[in-house]
């Protein structure tokens, strides 16, 4: 009875290759940023709110949105944080910032990367503009990052 | 005792396919939700609460409340309950919705089941339901246990592969009459099924259900709201759930005892003495051709061991006395989180007389069955008139 029994722990590892269908709204958005360097939102027919990123349903009105609206490539930073610790899934080598950006003409906020890592130089309310990737790959990171407008 | 009679007053489902590359998850679910709202002629604001479900691990989307409840359905600032019980997810949703209205908590609910199975790994998801120490290295997954069950069932009763193949032929040719069904095969033959690839003995490719993408949405209402919405609802007469546990042989792995247990209780509640005579149609959850033969026995449609004979005699054919799976069943369409809810939707369609080419004449009462997990069964009985 007094004999020590090893406390066995079984280790598991799950690896699953998932796919995530873009759908009509993401398709339009990534095509426009990649091909034309233009950012599009979609407008609710009832409350007139312009959603960026675009989606099919205005969740408040539960209306299907079908009117595409071109919006500006510039916007205002509404919040930010600076990333300094590196992990394998980062879109850029730290340090860089993630910002909540209200693009000109949009009524919702857009989360993206800001290529400025000095918290002293980042300000809520500052203007930023989109910088597009030279070789688009049909993904949200075809907007490579936003950079402060001096 | 329930405080209210509950009816299905709105039905929506997508066309089921192996892949929907044109829509993402919320866009796909919205098709069924919109159809159900339009069917009941309700505004999004009229919905009191939502009961939603799928199996998170199948698509790698956790917290699907956002995608299904808010982006695809009018759940903003409303109560949303998510239910995920494996294969029975759809029937658990259906039963959970019933309890929420029958109890008087809500006057109506929107019930949504969905799955987009081409996006991930259903088998991987199912494996994680099995005991990590004892079962995952051996029996885990969907096909292995179903193949073992088929083998033990056929050995016990002398059911043949040809009798099983007849189920696939019946169901997939029925599916040709159902515009929403995934695999529609009006000219399928027994030879075609019996010469398909052996997957896991004795199951061949066409003995097994497909993986489908799609969604199903139902709207339930209490008696007062039902009167305002439609004069052709499908009323709930009974709902029953029976859980079980099998770890290899801890419990009996064939004959599906939970189906016998749950159906007997449901028949008693609904005043059904002889299911084949007192019910008019059944939509059952047959993951394999062999399962349907076994389940028809377990549900009391015939004696144990006579499932093959029941089909040989043509009783469960569309032209028979008691058609089983006029929609094409699970062998034709299997979007897992929606699969058992589709059974309920199709039973309601039969009761309402809205089945068009797949309609069984003069349906008064219909049975829907969910199956999944650890050989777990759920039974729902619907009728043209309210119970009370």
Q: Please report the ipTM that was assigned to this predicted complex.
A: 0.90
Is the CB of B22 less than 8 angstroms away from the CB of A16?
no
B24 touches chain A (CB under 8 A): yes
B76 touches chain A (CB under 8 A): yes
Cα separation, A44 vs B341, in Å, equals: 31
Q: Which residues of B touch A18 (CB under 8 A)?
A: 59-60, 119-121
Q: Is it the case that residue B116 has pLDDT exceeding 80?
A: yes
The beta strands (E) that lie in chain B are given as: 6-13, 49-53, 80-82, 108-116, 198-200, 203-204, 213-222, 234-242, 281-283, 365-372, 376-383
pLDDT at residue A2 in the model? 65
Q: What is the pLDDT of residues A57-93, one digit of tens each?
A: 999 999 999 999 999 999 999 999 999 999 988 888 8
pTM of this prediction exceeds 0.90? yes
With respect to residue A55, please indicate whether it lies within any of the assigned structural domains: yes
pLDDT at residue A52 in the model? 96
Domain residue spans of chain B: 6-122+211-229
Task: Enter the tokens of residue A116.
Answer: 């400025």
Q: What is the pLDDT of residues B18-59, one digit of tens each?
A: 999 999 999 999 999 999 999 999 999 999 999 999 998 899
B271 touches chain A (CB under 8 A): no
Cα separation, B5 vs B108, in Å, equals: 11
Counting every residue, how long is chain A? 150
The tally of domains found in chain A comes to 1
Is the CB of A22 less than 8 angstroms away from the CB of B132?
no
CA distance B109 to chain A (A): 16
Domain range for A95 is 23-148
Cis peptide before B193 (omega within 30 of 0): no
Percent of chain B with pLDDT strictly greater than 70: 99
Is the CB of A10 less than 8 angstroms away from the CB of B60?
no
Q: Is it the case that residue B248 has pLDDT exceeding 80?
A: no
With respect to residue A51, please indicate whether it lies within any of the assigned structural domains: yes
Task: Enter the tokens of residue B254.
Answer: 């064939």
Q: Show the CA angle centred on residue B209, arms to residues B98 and B199, nearest 5°.
A: 145
Cα separation, B7 vs B223, in Å, equals: 7
Is the CB of A23 less than 8 angstroms away from the CB of B74?
no
Report the 3 state secondary structure along B57-70. HHHCCCCCHHHHHH
Q: Which residues of A touch B57 (CB under 8 A)?
A: 16
Mean pLDDT across B339-349: 98
Just give the CATH number of B6-122+211-229. Answer: 3.40.47.10
With respect to residue A9, please indicate whether it lies within any of the assigned structural domains: no
User: What does B185-207 look like in DSSP terms, one character per residue?
Assistant: -TT--HHHHHTSPEEETTEEGGG
Q: Mutating which of A16, A22, A58 best tests the B interface, going by the most B Cβ atoms within 10 A? A: A16
Mean pLDDT across B68-93: 96
Alpha-carbon torsion angle A132, A134, A139, A144, nearest 10: -40
Mean pLDDT across B339-355: 98
Q: Mutating which of A18, A44, A49, A61 best tests the B interface, going by the most B Cβ atoms within 10 A? A: A18
Q: Is it the case that residue B247 has pLDDT exceeding 80?
A: no
Is the CB of A23 less than 8 angstroms away from the CB of B22?
yes
Given A12, A16, A56, which is nearest B132 (Cβ)? Answer: A12
Q: Which residues of B touch A56 (CB under 8 A)?
A: 26-27, 30, 71
**B134 vs A45, more confident:** A45
B44 touches chain A (CB under 8 A): yes
Determine the 3-state secondary structure of B89 from DSSP: helix
pLDDT at residue B122 in the model? 87
Determine the 3-state secondary structure of B129 from DSSP: coil
């Amino acid at each position: 009875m007094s004999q020590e029994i090893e406390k066995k722990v079984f280790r598991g590892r799950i690896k699953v290759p998932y796919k995530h269908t873009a759908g009509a709204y993401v398709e339009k958005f990534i095509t426009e940023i990649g091909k034309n360097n233009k950012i599009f939102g979609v407008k609710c027919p009832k409350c007139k709110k312009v959603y960026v990123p675009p989606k099919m349903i205005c969740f408040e009105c539960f209306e299907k949105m079908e009117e595409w609206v071109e919006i500006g490539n510039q916007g205002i930073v509404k919040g930010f944080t600076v990333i300094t610790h590196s992990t394998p899934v980062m879109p850029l080598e730290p340090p860089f910032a993630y910002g909540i950006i209200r693009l000109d003409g949009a009524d919702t906020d857009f989360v993206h990367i800001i290529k400025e890592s000095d918290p002293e130089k980042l300000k809520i309310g500052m203007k930023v503009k989109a910088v597009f990737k030279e070789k688009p790959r049909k993904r949200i990171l075809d907007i490579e990052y936003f950079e402060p407008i001096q | 005792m329930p405080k209210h009679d509950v009816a299905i007053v709105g039905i929506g489902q997508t066309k089921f396919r192996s892949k929907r590359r044109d829509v993402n998850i919320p866009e796909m679910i919205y098709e069924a939700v919109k159809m159900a709202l339009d069917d009941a002629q309700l505004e999004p604001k009229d919905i009191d609460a939502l009961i939603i479900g799928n199996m998170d691990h199948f698509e790698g989307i956790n917290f699907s409340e956002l995608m299904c409840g808010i982006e695809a359905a009018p759940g903003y600032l409303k109560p949303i309950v998510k239910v995920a019980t494996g294969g029975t997810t759809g029937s658990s949703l259906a039963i959970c919705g019933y309890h929420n209205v029958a109890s008087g908590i809500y006057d109506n609910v929107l019930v949504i089941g969905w799955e987009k199975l081409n996006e991930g790994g259903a088998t991987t998801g199912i494996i994680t339901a099995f005991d990590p120490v004892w079962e995952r290295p051996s029996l885990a997954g969907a096909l292995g246990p179903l193949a073992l069950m088929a083998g033990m069932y056929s050995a016990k009763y002398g059911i043949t592969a040809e009798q099983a193949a007849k189920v696939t032929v019946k169901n997939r040719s029925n599916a040709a009459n159902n515009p929403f069904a995934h695999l529609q095969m009006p000219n399928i033959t027994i030879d075609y099924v019996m010469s398909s690839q052996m997957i896991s003995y004795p199951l061949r490719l066409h003995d097994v259900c497909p993986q489908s993408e799609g969604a199903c949405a139902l709207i339930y209402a209490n008696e007062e709201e039902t009167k305002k919405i439609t004069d052709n609802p499908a009323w709930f007469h009974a709902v029953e759930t029976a859980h079980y546990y099998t770890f290899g042989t801890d419990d009996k792995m064939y004959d599906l005892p939970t189906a016998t247990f749950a159906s007997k209780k449901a028949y008693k509640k609904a005043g059904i003495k002889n299911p084949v005579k007192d019910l008019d149609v059944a939509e059952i959850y047959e993951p394999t051709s062999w399962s349907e033969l076994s389940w028809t026995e377990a549900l009391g449609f015939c004696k144990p061991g006579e499932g093959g004979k029941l089909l040989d005699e043509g009783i469960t054919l569309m032209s028979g006395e008691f058609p089983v799976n006029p929609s094409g069943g699970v062998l034709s369409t299997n979007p897992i989180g929606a699969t058992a809810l589709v059974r309920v939707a199709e039973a309601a369609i039969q009761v309402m007389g809205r089945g068009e080419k797949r309609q069984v004449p003069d349906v008064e009462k219909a049975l829907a069955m969910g199956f999944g997990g650890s050989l777990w069964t759920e039974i729902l009985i619907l009728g043209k008139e309210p119970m009370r």
